[in-house]
Amino acid sequence: MTSKRDLARGILWTTFLQDDHLLAALRDDSKIDVLPNSLTDLADRHIVEREILIQAEMQHKNVVSLIPTFATSAQIHIIMELMSHSLRQKMISEGALCEKDASWILHDATNGIAFCHLHGVLHRDLKPENITISDHGTAKITDFGLSTNTKGLTACGTEQYKAPEIWAHEEQTTSVDMWSLGCIMFEALTKRLTFPQAKTSDMIAAIDSAKVSYPHSLSNVSKDLIQKLIVRKAGSRLTASQVRHT
């Protein structure tokens, strides 16, 4: 008999932990994503298939593993490595992170990002929810539903973490992920949104100016790194490879 426990809802599907002989045969630390029947039209299937293809190719210790998938006429099943919790959940339970904790999480995430960028993949939706942490304390990036292996102009991503060039419909490069990483780092260390403006128009203006209000509690080292990521000119931001060696 199959038993399913709802774990989380993504953009296109509900995630379940399914305890049956199939998953047990694979391994206990796996999860299965099921695309609901209502999302089986060609456009939705194309998005999911693209995510499967990109994430399956990103075989790295800091990218959530995707185990071979299978499909039925009505559903697409995606089996992925099960992580303990997300950075968002850690921030909710612990509040602002100490620099030591933030450092190793962001170091691991940057390793995963650097690997993706090396292979020409832009994630384009990095946020605390998409940085996950294993039972062994390894941080890994996940959710490649909005990723692409080409430069683009498509508006995408989560508002608070979107780089200014996305809002401005300018060409997107790997630098969009570095902007998002800067916003994530700021939020993880302060438990404050980088751009907290209530009105979307005010937030977009603040993002476009790249002006951030840094609290006194933030160390000079952290502030300096964030300032090198949250830069209006995309080409002036640190790359993932550079962040790894800071």
pLDDT, tens digit, 9 for 90 and up, residues 17-53: 554 433 322 333 445 555 555 445 656 666 666 666 7
Coil vs helix vs strand at 8: strand
Distance of alpha carbon 60 from alpha carbon 44, whole angstroms: 27
Residue numbers annotated as active site: 125
Q: What is the pLDDT of residue 42?
A: 59
Q: What is the pLDDT of residue 3?
A: 43
Confidence of residue 70 (pLDDT cuts 50, 70, 90): low
pLDDT, the chain, mean: 80
User: Contact at 8 Å (CB) between 175 and 163?
Assistant: yes
**Mean pLDDT calculated for residue range 88-108:** 95
**Mean pLDDT calculated for residue range 61-84:** 74
Return phi, psi of residue 77, to 5°.
Answer: -105, 130
Distance of alpha carbon 126 from alpha carbon 187, whole angstroms: 13
Query: Would you kindly state where each structural domain of the chain is located, as residue ranges?
Result: 4-81, 85-244
How is residue 137 written in tokens?
């304390």
pLDDT at 67 over 90: no
Coil vs helix vs strand at 100: helix
Higher-pLDDT residue of 11 and 197 is 197
Pick the CATH number of 4-81 from 3.50.50.60, 4.10.80.400, 3.30.200.20, 3.30.2320.30: 3.30.200.20
- CATH homologous superfamily of 85-244: Transferase(Phosphotransferase) domain 1 (1.10.510.10)
Distance of alpha carbon 177 from alpha carbon 127, whole angstroms: 10
